[in-house]
Amino acid sequence: MGTLSKNTIYFRQLNENFFTKYRGIDEFLKKNARGHGIMIMDYLDLLVAVPLRSSLKPYMKKQQFIFPYKVCNKGGKRCLKGMDFSKLIIMSEEDLQGSVGFVFQDDCEKQYYIDNYSKIVNRLGNYIKRYKRLCYQIQEGIQPSITQLRLYRYSTIRNFHESLGIHLSKESFILTLQERGLLGSK
């Protein structure tokens, strides 16, 4: 694919190798035909893939981890389309080898994300920074609120502590969720 540029969003359908590599991580979305918005975050120079989702529940439009596009009808049901930060993957450029451009059914959706690139990057950066702050609190023995924890309860972000420079282990984060009654025991 060549070198990726900052301040750009790429829409790719990732290949089978990508899904094989990441399939074992907690909370990973396994639908191979799913498109991803891929961007290099100025924050820590991370290459981040955010899945495009088309069957979210409409009430999720206000969730901090969703960048909503619009509510539409799908198979007789109302569904929300949008980018889901909670299912992000921090990846390397080699993960893009063999990927193909994602073809949107609605060209307006693609343009919407391109037009709102700065907002997407800002919200995604805030999502990551809040998570890092939350992990630091847990590490320092500060009890986080249920509201703070709920935002990351089903997130893939806990699989990328090393890339994010987080010293708290993933297992400690999961234990905190379990202790607060937000996850069952494994």
Domains, the chain: 10-179 (3.10.129)
Quick one: pLDDT at residue 145?
95
Where do we find the tokens 């893009």?
96
Q: Output the pLDDT for position 177.
A: 96
pLDDT confidence of residue 116 = 96
The model carries a pTM of 0.92
Alpha helices by DSSP H, listed for 37-160, are: 107-115, 117-139, 146-150
Q: How far apart are CA 13 and CA 33, in angstroms?
A: 6
Between CA 38 and CA 92 the distance in angstroms is: 11
Distance CA 177, CA 180 (A): 5
Helix axes 117-139, 170-179, angle to 10 degrees: 80
Q: What are the pLDDT digits (tens) for 63-99?
A: 999 999 999 998 899 999 999 999 999 999 999 988 9
The pLDDT assigned to 83 comes to 97
Output phi, psi for 142, to 5 deg.
-90, 125
In this model, does residue 32 exceed pLDDT 80? no
pLDDT in tens, 39-63: 888 778 899 999 999 999 999 999 9
Residues 168, 152: Cα–Cα separation, whole Å: 15
Whose CA is closest to 96, among 52, 39, 53?
A: 39
